[in-house]
Chain A
């Protein structure tokens, strides 16, 4: 009994320290201005449009192509709205460290995708779509929305969230066929 208690206590301490280190990390989270957030939002959407273009060109699987076409349409729609809003608010998207790291990651991923074909390509594309949407959702929820000052820009990011989540569910569904 005593051992169980000790084990539980140890677990509790470990969990506590993990959460604590997470909140310490919060200070290391990038701090972004609205023009920088606009740049991150447009870039993140454009990267998924680019991945989709590669998939439409390289894949012959109908589930992959259907998913990729939806990604193109939806993410282009978001870019359109973000651009229009930025113009209206006289906000010029400003490139920053987050934009740059997104672009660096995308460059690697695109060359990886371009080097594959057939089943291997389909699997690499959909695996990346799952991972990419997960990380974008997390960034939108924990960095972009909380840090946005302008309420219209914040509202737009909030409105985009359900589509990102549905894209993730859709990607997970397609991914099951490529295990």
Chain B
């Protein structure tokens, strides 16, 4: 009987924690959206996952000052090289992350796998 109460208690706590976390997330993402639309104080952060030999998403539409974070989730090393070599990441081994602040529209590719391409489109 005692054991029974323990499990019910644990379950209710988990449910509470789950919902409170969910709420916090919702609120914070709402806040950052409002801030950006109205005052542009907080730059946005965009995530690009490198996986299955592609940049996902392969096009990011951002505002100058925003940050793009690249994470190599693939099985082999890659890099992110601006097409005219204006900037380039170091070699990103599986698990590595690299970020860049958007200062203009850029096409980029992977200099290790020339057919891998992506674009940052600056608004």
User: Which A residues are within 8 Å of any B CB, using their own CB?
Assistant: 66, 69-70, 73-74, 77-78, 81, 159-160, 162-163, 165-167, 169-170, 173
Contact = CB atoms under 8 A, between A and B. Distances in A.
B122 interface: no
A73 B76 contact: yes
Contacts of A69: 112
13 contacts: A69-B112, A70-B113, A73-B112, A74-B76, A77-B76, A159-B52, A159-B75, A162-B53, A162-B54, A165-B53, A166-B116, A170-B113, A173-B114
A173 B116 CA distance: 12
Nearest to A168: B115
Contacts, number: 39
Secondary structure class of chain B's binding surface, majority of residues? loop
A138 to B, nearest CB: 18
A177 to B, nearest CB: 12
B112 A70 contact: yes
Given A163-B76, A173-B115, 14 more contacts: A69-B112, A73-B76, A73-B112, A74-B76, A74-B77, A77-B94, A78-B76, A159-B52, A163-B75, A166-B53, A166-B116, A167-B113, A170-B114, A173-B114
A162 B74 CA distance: 10
Contacts of B115: 166, 169-170, 173
Q: Which of B76, B94, B111, B115 has the most CB of A within 10 A?
A: B76
A77 B74 CA distance: 11
Contacts of A81: 75
Contacts of B114: 170, 173
A68 to B, nearest CB: 12
B75 A77 contact: yes
Contacts of B113: 70, 166-167, 170
Interface string B104-123: 00000001111110000000
Contacts of A170: 113-115
Contacts of B53: 162-163, 165-166
Nearest to B113: A166
B111 A73 contact: no
A154 B114 CA distance: 28
Nearest to A161: B52
A69 B76 CA distance: 12
A173 B53 CA distance: 16
A66 B116 contact: no
A126 to B, nearest CB: 13
Nearest to A164: B53
Nearest to B74: A163
Nearest to A81: B75
Contacts of B76: 73-74, 77-78, 163
Interface string B77-117: 10000000000000000100000000000000001111110
